[in-house]
Structure 1
């Protein structure tokens, strides 16, 4: 006999048991109050090398490096060299141990760049530095002033103190080159490796004491040579300059933080760069680092780029209120603004 729909009742309905169990899913996440603080010194294909200081967390373990992975609960938060993090799991530092990074502390500063000046995607290179060391060779390979200008803009935008380091002074006198940066009052160090010595290394060491300094520069400028001189046990690979193209070969594939002898500071070595996109930089922030010129912007028209005929900075400089170096300072400002806007080639 065929039963009609009205002939069924609840006893005829079969309820399939839930495979998830009867326990409701909680949205609460562990607080990880017991997470050990650490400092990320290396990143390699999803694995993070983290330095854990001795005695951290009230424990008697010595200082050690711990290999860790990022916990799923951090979501899409990226972790880079220089980050302060919290660790749980096996933090013993033994060869087969793997901890989890469950906390990412707020960053005090970040060094960013984009692929080019039109790319909206920012890439965080290093977290929490306070000094940007811009390394350039005076010869072999030839210096690239526009790349230096872009690095200066990135430093100003990130609130970092810039330091210009010129290498290979035994090949060319640095006087003319430094004249281009005198109006910017950028501190500089000149180094040379002529003979058996390394002139300028001690002066550079003095500038790094108590700082977290990130080194940037294009390939072949001697960046890794400097790092090896500062941290002898670093053993950073050194490449040669191609005699045909005049360009260096990439020898560093990822950023790494290295401690200066005597625990006097940190040096973060980064891979050589051939471009430094600044799409993330607000041009208005650049003028803030020219306090002698900034008051003159009050006479600028709305939306002024500070590099146009109607710009009020020209009258400000001509009035003498920007000081005796006003004209050269204004030209330096506009050079940086053009570097940011992509009008000047590297």
Structure 2
């Protein structure tokens, strides 16, 4: 029996998966339309294409593979291709994220290296705080102010439930340091006073509402945007904490004439980590302390054990007991944040709960 001899003509080389040349160049998508992301739900994005224009159209989109793990959040301006008719069952594709003007970030705690963008392109952070039921948490307010300034946003403190407690003490803490303070009164889940001041403060801006559950964020949104139907929840009598009623951030346009106004309602938070904020930048968020600290000796850490720190002298020099207590509270809040960011804090103080 003859033995067959094989040669190279008998070998068939099939191209493998990786044989196609790769490129880092992304498609230009010259026909893309610009839209604003208004909501995110399980990998699907609500996008308002040509927002404010004559061809405005709400569409549902997915994120293109070339964006990788880049996070798309409410407030993002994005380039969209594909079916942008908005018809039922259609799905467009987000292919680019326009460079953000601002980006509000937070981390799980002050040691978590993973930062999370919450909202993009917002003008101001509105820190919604109840004067009672639940009790206000000034250290949480301070954290939010720091996050706002770090993001390049202004900070507004909105005090709700003024029918239950006097807003003057908290207002006196933040008005002198450049934080605008608004006061509203509520009757159950209905806003009964202060709404016009709120409208004026938000007009023509993109505002992010942040606060603990049960402080009245959703009640405020329902008053500003009739038909939004954001769920409201009661405060637990035992824990003094609210129940989460909003599960994801959503951007809503406030109806009315004049400049376009947006509010972004976010889920209630119980902590606001600042691991992404450099310790050297913390003092800038405390304008009153930053001014005093200019008299500190060179190299002063401003920590509790810092020798000859001018901040301690500032507290001691207060004109009366009430002013001394207020100054001491401000300094204590700053030093707790500083200790949390430098890794010297008690674990329980690393986030405000």
Q: How does the TM-score come out when normalised to structure 1?
A: 0.85
Q: How does 1:1-346 map to 2 (within 5 A)?
A: 11-12=7-8, 14-19=10-15, 24-27=20-23, 28-53=25-50, 62-194=55-187, 198-262=192-256, 264-289=260-285, 293=290, 296-297=293-294, 299-302=296-299, 304-305=301-302, 307-310=304-307, 312-314=309-311, 332=330, 335-339=333-337, 341-342=339-340, 343=345, 344=349, 346=353
Residue deviations 1:190-231, cap 9 Å, x none? 100249762001101100011110000000001000011011
Residue deviations 1:59-86, cap 9 Å, x none? xx73111100000011221111111100
Q: Greater CA radius of gyration, 1 or 2?
A: 1
Q: Secondary structure at the match of 1:132?
A: strand
Q: Which runs of 5+ in 2 are unaligned?
A: 318-322
The answer on whether the counterparts of 2:311 and 2:331 sit within 8 Å (CA) in structure 1 is no
In the alignment, the residues of structure 1 paired with residue 44 and residue 285 of structure 2 have an alpha-carbon distance, to the nearest angstrom, of 38
In the alignment, the residues of structure 2 paired with residue 315 and residue 336 of structure 1 have an alpha-carbon distance, to the nearest angstrom, of 12
In the alignment, the residues of structure 2 paired with residue 115 and residue 26 of structure 1 have an alpha-carbon distance, to the nearest angstrom, of 37
In the alignment, the residues of structure 1 paired with residue 52 and residue 268 of structure 2 have an alpha-carbon distance, to the nearest angstrom, of 36
Q: Secondary structure at the match of 1:180?
A: helix
Q: How does the TM-score come out when normalised to structure 2?
A: 0.83
Q: RMSD in angstroms over aligned alpha carbons?
A: 3.2
In the alignment, the residues of structure 2 paired with residue 51 and residue 173 of structure 1 have an alpha-carbon distance, to the nearest angstrom, of 41
Q: Which runs of 5+ in 1 are unaligned?
A: none
CA positional deviation for 1:317: 5.6
Distance 1:335 1:315, change over 3 A: closer
